Structure 1
């Protein structure tokens, strides 16, 4: 064994695990590890954004793109508290990073030193992180670090991924002990449990009895990288596929069997197929309220009349909202391959069995296309939302990584964007954290330096985190932010119009002196930071601005003025109890 400081051990372990980056901000509580990172700066790079929440969102997005975790580093007190939002965002969407937080020295525990949280227990910050991470560790001696590091790395990626917290008292970074690096974690060979033969046989029996099946895929499908298997299954049996936001791209969005997103702002064919199906094969998703029309029967789904096969690696998600006819704890990729292999021995399960159903689905697709497509060519100022989505779909290359923030723009992209590749459409879906799309795109660019990375963000969300421009310029990250500028918290303003007869308060941005709609000049703001900045108020200017931004390969903000009075056509419903829910604007619920 070698005598090592705690900070050196942590840094060496991250290097051993091939963690290329640590995203974080310095503070007195973590200065003790910075020397170790300096000595290893050729093997692990410290990226320092201007806010700790941004560091967490960057790490989260990095994992979503690469499926390999990186680390964050924050100081005691406020620095680590700023990380809470990013941790819960990652936890809610099954994304992983190692959150190294710092704490007060053990010799000062429970003495109320600077930035100690001590009301209920000494150095209690790990308790703050418990509900927002998969696990929180607090090694208080250097010789406790090897086990904690290995367990933390394994915990992050085994089963359902999630962020893990390692809370380190300041003195542990600098104290020494006779220790050695722990063995490598399982991160490089993830466990992939499969289904039993009985479960596979039962799933095939349900497919053999069905006439109107659909496949519903979510982030579990993306995380297991099951896109090829899911596409093969859909193609072989000609079964339509519905996707949750974080499942988009597993099957190409322009595939003939891809129906898109389901729920209030889902595509009409997805809701029609979901509510009229007789069997749903669910792969790695959990039926949250927005993708299940708040669980109102007949709007998106029709359980229990519809049979349900629910496959997930996390047993806690099986039956959370709908009791399955068959619940299977398995990795989605493994399960789908098992199903494909076993179906070869079941000749009665074939595409022609479901052909009449597919004809129905194609009719809904054609009906929806005829309804929505004309607006994609509308030339208006401010720009119509469909025109913005359609223009970006045409101009952005197939390998683009799209990072979406929360806001009304997200509803439009859920309804109409066709992701062409897996791990290329990043959403804060479970917790819907504003700032994720604004900041996460930086982590995506570091994960995929050769690919264009574009964030579409609201004007409200961008003003929450404009410091991202500084980081992009500092580290020469050619990220493009497209600001969906509608001079409002548009998604909430739409709720006021839809549910409260347009009694608008607190949602629009107005200039106090003139009463006119107000926002900063986002393009000038970008130029002041050393980035490029453009403003688009006419539809004919959007394409050229996007093409120029991609060509320049520099950080850029494109401020796009979008019509706030055009709202996505709801095809399902969504309820904020006890307020009554609205009927779909297009399509009707189905009662079996």
Structure 2
């Protein structure tokens, strides 16, 4: 037992857990903790972006790349309130970080001091975060910290990962007590449950009975590092694989049986395979509305005509939207390995069983390619969206980490991007938070300093957090932002044109009051970058894009590439998506399976 300040104990535990970074913003409530971090600054580096939201997204992206949690630090009141959105983003996508928030001193609780929430309970900020974290701990004395710290780290990474809040009255950072640094958490990478023998036998039986099976994999597969097992299973069985955005890269993108994303803006072969499958083996994903055509039968999936094996480490996700034929609580990596071994050990499931199915999938791929490929080489001003995706695919290195923000550009990348590695395409999928890609690329770069990190972001999203360029310059992070500049909140403008007969209001960026049809307006993003000390390039012609991207990556400096993209070209829908009670639209390419 050692006499330690609360802040010192927290800092020492971060060192023990090998947490390399704390992303945070200073405030009067956390100066005591900052002083403790000063003592360990050679082992834990404080990175201070210009907004708390950015700190949260950076920590989220760091975990997605590295699969190791880091911490954030915010002060009382507004600073910590700015963490709500990134915490919701991380929780929705099963990403983990420790959000340390400061609260008012215990001696002042329930007296309405500066920045206390007290209407329902004293020091009540933890209740603000309750819906957006896996667990919130509120130690009010130094001797409560050891247990809270150990439990916080265990909770973050046990089972389905998620963010955890440690809400600490700021007197606790400076008060002292006889305490011991708790033992380190050993849970990360452990606790991997597998399927029972009976469940595995039933899964094998269903697979042997099927003639048109598909694998549907998501973020659970990525977080479990299941790429090797899933790739071997895909090759052993010779069956198509459909992915959620956060599952992309888990199996080889260039395999003809890797069909990509499914849903309204998914690839046509993926939707066709989902519609006509007689068995879906779903591993680590949850059939949300966007990856299921809002659960409309025959548009992406055809349950219950089609059998479903649903595997997830979180029992709450089993049967949430589609009752499974067989539900299995298991780790994605363990289950994929078990199923591969069972298939190899027996003679019930043979690759030859699915030859006709592979041929049909190949025909759908050929149809889709013939429809979309010509636009990938179109030379236009402004640039066609397909050209932008294709150009980046051709010039960015295979080890690139692509951080995507929310917006219409994300729809194009979900439909056509082919990531070469697992967790190299970062998406805010569950919560679709604008700013995630803009800020998250900084955390990705810190997690993988040797790899090129490129954010593709909308003009609207970039303007929500343009300070990131200054942070990149300050910390010498060679991030590249490709701004998809279509002078609009493009995804929502597209909805107005698709669902409201083009009655555009509030979605385009226009100078003055004339609105749609008037002069479009955006700042000069390249000039903004140069004002921050970064490189800035404006691209208005197709011929200039590849060279600009190659130069930015080669220079290894922060860079903003302002790309003017044609806002009148919309992603071809191959499924559907409904905003009830508005009637849903039929696909632009392909037809649902009726009956």
Report TM bin, short chain. over 0.9
Which residue is equivalent to 1:99?
A: 99
Which residue is equivalent to 2:589?
A: 586
- Corresponding residue to 1:545 among 543, 548, 553: 548
Which residue is equivalent to 1:243?
A: 243
TM-score, normalised to structure 2, is: 0.99
Give me the whole-angstrom Cα distance separating, in 2, the residues matched to 1:188 and 1:195.
Answer: 20
Which residue is equivalent to 2:220?
A: 220
Give me the whole-angstrom Cα distance separating, in 2, the residues matched to 1:79 and 1:27.
Answer: 8
Summarize the alignment of residues 250-269 of structure 1 with structure 2, pairs less than 5 Å apart: 250-269=250-269
Deviation at 1:513, TM superposition (A): 6.7
Which residue is equivalent to 2:530?
A: 527
Give me the whole-angstrom Cα distance separating, in 1, the residues matched to 2:187 and 2:457.
Answer: 32
Where 2:355 maps in the other structure, the secondary structure is helix
Give me the whole-angstrom Cα distance separating, in 2, the residues matched to 1:63 and 1:365.
Answer: 34
Structure 2: runs of 5 or more not aligned: none
Where 1:324 maps in the other structure, the secondary structure is coil
Deviation at 1:348, TM superposition (A): 2.4
Which residue is equivalent to 2:567?
A: 564
Deviation at 1:186, TM superposition (A): 2.4
Deviation at 1:189, TM superposition (A): 4.1
Where 2:345 maps in the other structure, the secondary structure is coil
Which residue is equivalent to 2:371?
A: 371
Summarize the alignment of residues 374-453 of structure 1 with structure 2, pairs less than 5 Å apart: 374-453=374-453
CA contact (8 A) 1:401 1:453 kept: yes
Which residue is equivalent to 2:80?
A: 80
Give me the whole-angstrom Cα distance separating, in 1, the residues matched to 2:344 and 2:236.
Answer: 10
Structure 1: runs of 5 or more not aligned: none
Does 1:554 find its partner at 2:557? yes
Where 2:194 maps in the other structure, the secondary structure is coil
RMSD: 0.7
Does 1:329 find its partner at 2:329? yes
Summarize the alignment of residues 199-348 of structure 1 with structure 2, pairs less than 5 Å apart: 199-348=199-348
Give me the whole-angstrom Cα distance separating, in 2, the residues matched to 1:535 and 1:331.
Answer: 46
Give me the whole-angstrom Cα distance separating, in 1, the residues matched to 2:325 and 2:486.
Answer: 45
Where 2:205 maps in the other structure, the secondary structure is helix
CA contact (8 A) 1:476 1:554 kept: yes
Give me the whole-angstrom Cα distance separating, in 2, the residues matched to 1:255 and 1:453.
Answer: 25
Give me the whole-angstrom Cα distance separating, in 1, the residues matched to 2:182 and 2:355.
Answer: 56
- CA deviations 1:254-274 (Å, max 9, x no partner) are 122100000000000000000
Deviation at 1:59, TM superposition (A): 0.1
Q: Which moved more, 1:303-312 or 1:32-41?
A: 32-41
Where 1:214 maps in the other structure, the secondary structure is strand
* Alignment coverage as a number of residue pairs: 592
| Poorly superposed stretches of 4+, deviation over 4 Å | none
Deviation at 1:109, TM superposition (A): 0.2
Where 2:418 maps in the other structure, the secondary structure is coil
Deviation at 1:188, TM superposition (A): 4.2
CA contact (8 A) 1:276 1:302 kept: yes
Where 1:362 maps in the other structure, the secondary structure is helix
Where 1:211 maps in the other structure, the secondary structure is coil
Which residue is equivalent to 2:146?
A: 146
Deviation at 1:345, TM superposition (A): 3.0
Where 1:30 maps in the other structure, the secondary structure is helix
- CA deviations 1:459-480 (Å, max 9, x no partner) are 0000000010111000000000
CA contact (8 A) 2:157 2:188 kept: no
CA contact (8 A) 2:159 2:191 kept: yes
Give me the whole-angstrom Cα distance separating, in 2, the residues matched to 1:425 and 1:113.
Answer: 44
Give me the whole-angstrom Cα distance separating, in 2, the residues matched to 1:110 and 1:190.
Answer: 42
Deviation at 1:591, TM superposition (A): 2.4
Give me the whole-angstrom Cα distance separating, in 1, the residues matched to 2:49 and 2:312.
Answer: 35
CA contact (8 A) 1:158 1:186 kept: no
Which residue is equivalent to 1:573?
A: 576
CA contact (8 A) 1:241 1:259 kept: yes
- CA deviations 1:415-457 (Å, max 9, x no partner) are 0000110010000000000000000000000000000000000
